[in-house]
Amino acid sequence: MNGRRLDWIALSLATAESPKSIPRILSRFADPLDVLHDPEENLRVLGFSEEAVEGLSSGRFRKMAVKEEERLNRLGGRIVSYEDQAYPGLLKQIFDPPFVLYGLGRIETLNEPAVGIVGSRGPTAYGRGAAHSLARELAGRGLVVASGLAEGIDTCAHLGALDSGRTIAVLGTGLDIVYPRQNRGLTKKIAASGCLVTEFPLGARPRGHHFPQRNRLISGLCLALIVVEASPKSGSLITARLALEQNREVLAVPGNITSELSRGTNELIQAGAKPATCWQDVIEELPAEVRNRAWAAGRTEPERPSSLGREERRVLGCLRPDGLIHIDEIAVRTDVPLPNLLAVLLDMELRGLVRQSPGKFYQRSL
């Protein structure tokens, strides 16, 4: 085994639960691994807990590192240390980058141009549609979509991205623990084309403080961050603040002024965040090289209503992007016979014009 790699893992085990020590180490040592030879009293000054000081001084973390690498290899994962070429360049720019990343899937995805999408765990139909649509369009134009695998907006963003491209899920747990459990199948799809990544070792449970800590990695991996529905005290707004501190572009999807879930995003816009009303709004904020590739690549322009047939225009006219309508109500409003309506809706869904939710409810794509 590579000795320096094991040292990086040992240092990561010591800092994974206390990232505040990371910038102190980076500012004091030209080679961060030199901290491993520091006296115990110096380690305490750097902000290490007593448990971490004992683990480093006794060599316990070094022994744990050997087992950690063996277990991850059996899982099919990969460890990327701070000095590896595969370590994401954007992440090195943040104030407190993790010394080790644990990845499962296509590690190279971490170095490709990415846009983050975060938001409420209990979104409205409008929020779900916005996250899915933006992720699908951005991924279809060659961008990677990053999010945190949480329920709600995160899950919608991952699913939308998988419709047309790749996505990164940044976990608040070890790679061997899926949280929430219902996303187990989703993690397999993400790893097949994109990447699951975390700074936490195998076996790390979903502890409350892990998720704010994880959020700095979501924004750190991205060129821009989009917030879709967030209450004023939402964790998504913490991610937006971190993104601003990391000099990332921040956008917010405007929402209904009577909705509590739109207060956070609307306040972001009032504070200067750019409104994200379509994928083009996002592309315009990216660096020129990335922007030009995205304009030229991927999905064709959505069809305009004028290019649709009579029944299609009637169906599209009664659907909304911010609410669900049952197929029976669509049939009544449009006076389209049910067999025809089913065919029209299926065709429009395949063309990305409408989205179906469980129970035969439909909404217009953004």
Q: What is the pLDDT of residues 111-150, one digit of tens each?
A: 999 999 999 999 988 898 889 989 999 999 999 999 999 9
Q: CA angle, corner 247, sides to 246 and 251, nearest 5? A: 105
Rounded Cα gap, residues 48 and 287, in angstroms: 38
Left, alpha or beta for 359 (phi > 0: left; psi -120 to 50: alpha)? left
Q: How does pLDDT run along the chain (366 residues), one tens digit per residue?
A: 578 999 999 999 999 887 889 999 999 999 999 999 999 999 999 988 888 999 999 999 999 999 999 999 999 999 999 999 999 999 999 999 999 999 999 999 999 999 999 999 999 888 988 899 899 999 999 999 999 999 999 999 999 999 999 999 999 999 999 999 999 999 999 999 999 999 999 999 999 999 999 999 999 999 999 999 998 888 899 999 999 999 999 999 998 888 899 999 999 999 999 999 889 999 999 999 999 999 888 554 444 555 688 888 899 889 987 778 999 999 999 999 888 898 888 888 777 788 888 788 888 876
196: phi then psi, degrees, rounded to nearest 5: -100, 135
Whether the Cβ atoms of residue 227 and residue 119 lie closer than 8 Å to each other: yes
CA-based nearest residue to 101, from 245, 109, 28, 151: 109
Q: Distance between CA 58 and CA 361 in Å, rounded?
A: 60
Over the stretch 191-236, which tens digit does the pLDDT of each residue have? 999 999 999 999 999 999 999 999 999 999 999 999 999 988 888 9
Domains of the chain, first to last: 3-74 (no CATH), 107-296 (3.40.50.450), 305-364 (1.10.10.10)
The answer to whether the CB of 239 falls within 8 A of the CB of 225 is: yes
Contacts of 149 (CB under 8 A, 6+ apart): 155, 158, 169, 170, 171, 178, 179, 180, 183, 186, 187
